[in-house]
Amino acid sequence: MATTIRMPEVLANVTEAAVQKWLVAEGDTIEVGQPFAEIETEKAVVEYTAETAGTVLQLLIGEGDAVDVGAPIALVGEAGEVAPAFPAAEPSAASEGSLVVVPSGAAATPAETASAAASTDGRRFISPLVRRLAREHGLDLTTVQGSGPDGRIVRRDIEALLSDASAPTSAPAATATGASAATAAPAPVAPSPGLEPELIPASRMRKTIARRLAESKSTVPHFYLTADCRVDRLLELRREINAIDGVKISVNDLVVKAVAAAFMDVPEANTTWTDEGMLRHRTADIAIAVSLDDGLVTPVVRGVERLSVTALSAAIGDLATRARSGGLKQHEIEGGSFAVSNLGMFGTPEFCAIINPPQAGILAVGAARQAPVVVDGALAVGMVMTVTLSADHRVLDGALAARWLAAFVARIENPVSILA
């Protein structure tokens, strides 16, 4: 008997997800634990592995279609088994190929109707993006010939229509006499052809970043502490470690290790806020900001205090690689009490970062640079790195945050202690 595979809740509290890529095809024989699909949520792309062995009888949704968590997405059964009649899962409103139902006899606005790809039951393939563009520009979609699959109206059809309609026209000359002529407002100037601003649809990840960080800044009371670290000895230690055959670590690896060590020095700072109370964490689970083409993701390295620097470097490198290829697992992007964001490789001297709840802080790391320093009362030139701590004032008061930052600076400026 065929087993229905449903859209998994690959991340906590996610109500909708999309199949970014099928990793199997109809007719394939699969085993439990075999990669089945790449599932895209608002936060990340996660590889989903099969929980049932058998033969893939039918894939119920297409790549790129978004459906609610729990909706059927595939059928798996025995080889040669005929797939039972099963209605395909209706894509959710966020899917490019979502179905818009126009009830019989109901009045529909021009943006909600289209002749292309219309079926006899009143369902029409119109994406939310197309509907929004049509509403914004007052377009009648019944006059648009779709160029997408099955005649679907897609974004490029709307853009082509807007481009044709954007040819500059001559504004009538203003006619006025006396004082009114001197105050006549200039006619608006249309953008030159080809220079019109382009509307870029936001990905699920970008929408989530916008929503979560806006919520963070409006609901989490941030405060900031900044410190300059002498990193001459740190850079020398890195050079010595990297001189060993087969070993390659980055400054960021040492920074993350120092962050964990500082939490061992000031354990009461390793705390996060919940509605039920404050959680005191016993291990240093640190999130690392990884830049992607369409946003960023923050996979978590667990138990950093127990890892050697080389093991930590390997773990960060593995998470970053799989983050960029969409191979992260659910547990790897959840939790953590603190985060590190490093823009030093771009030459940024210093910046402030926004806390990513439920984490209680994030350390913004700038570039190591030459700067004037005072050594034994004399002016000299040294390597300095500026870091800025963004702290959640609900759990970290100023004095406690300052103690933790001082512990971090002490570890960075005495880098051998990081290796202990």
Q: Which CATH class is domain 222-419?
A: alpha beta
pLDDT of residue 81: 81
| DSSP-derived pairing of the beta strands 378-392 and 361-375 | antiparallel
Q: What is the pLDDT of residues 191-226, one digit of tens each?
A: 777 788 888 888 878 888 888 899 999 999 999 999
Mean pLDDT of 230-259: 94
Mean pLDDT of the chain: 82
Q: Which residues pair with 385 in a beta bridge?
A: 229, 368
**In the predicted model, is pLDDT for residue 165 greater than 80?**
no
pLDDT of residue 205: 80
Q: Are 231 and 383 in contact (CB under 8 A)?
A: yes
Q: Tokens 């790809």: give the residue.
A: 117
- Name the most confidently modeled range: 139-148, 208-217, 248-257: 248-257
CA–CA distance, 412 with 235 (Å, rounded to integer):
10
CA–CA distance, 210 with 218 (Å, rounded to integer):
12
CA–CA distance, 35 with 39 (Å, rounded to integer):
11
**In the predicted model, is pLDDT for residue 122 greater than 50?**
no
The helix or strand, by DSSP H or E, that contains position 6, with its residue range, turns out to be strand 3-6
CA distances from 143 to 151, 205, 303 (A): 13, 33, 60
Mean pLDDT of 251-280: 96
Which CATH number among 2.40.50.100, 1.20.1050.10, 3.90.226.10, 1.10.3720.10 corresponds to the domain 3-77?
2.40.50.100
Mean pLDDT of 287-309: 92
pLDDT of residue 294: 76
**In the predicted model, is pLDDT for residue 271 greater than 80?**
yes
The yes-or-no answer on residue 393 being catalytic is yes
pLDDT of residue 24: 93
Q: Which residues pair with 372 in a beta bridge?
A: 381
Q: Is 73 helix (H, G, I), strand (E, B) or coil?
A: strand
Question: Predicted confidence band at 172 (pLDDT cuts at 50, 70, 90)?
Answer: very low
Q: What is the pLDDT of residues 323-377, one digit of tens each?
A: 888 788 878 988 899 999 999 999 999 999 999 999 999 999 999 999 999 999 9
Mean pLDDT of 82-108: 46
> Long-range contacts of range 276-279, CB-CB < 8 Å, 24 or more positions apart?
278/395, 279/337
Question: Bigger pLDDT: 146 or 393?
Answer: 393
Question: Bigger pLDDT: 31 or 1?
Answer: 31
Its CATH architecture, for the domain 99-165, is: Irregular (4.10)
Q: Are 146 and 97 in contact (CB under 8 A)?
A: no
- Name the most confidently modeled range: 79-83, 150-154, 336-340: 336-340
- 89 Cβ contact partners less than 8 Å away, ≥ 6 residues apart: 7, 60, 61, 65, 67, 71, 72, 73
pLDDT of residue 171: 43
Q: What is the pLDDT of residues 53-69, one digit of tens each?
A: 999 999 999 887 888 88
- 220 Cβ contact partners less than 8 Å away, ≥ 6 residues apart: 355, 357, 392, 394
CA–CA distance, 35 with 23 (Å, rounded to integer):
6
The helix or strand, by DSSP H or E, that contains position 339, with its residue range, turns out to be strand 338-342
pLDDT of residue 255: 97
pLDDT of residue 143: 77
Q: Is 150 helix (H, G, I), strand (E, B) or coil?
A: helix
Domain boundaries, the chain: 3-77, 99-165, 222-419
Question: Bigger pLDDT: 161 or 52?
Answer: 52
Mean pLDDT of 28-55: 86
Annotated catalytic residue within 137, 222, 281, 393: 393
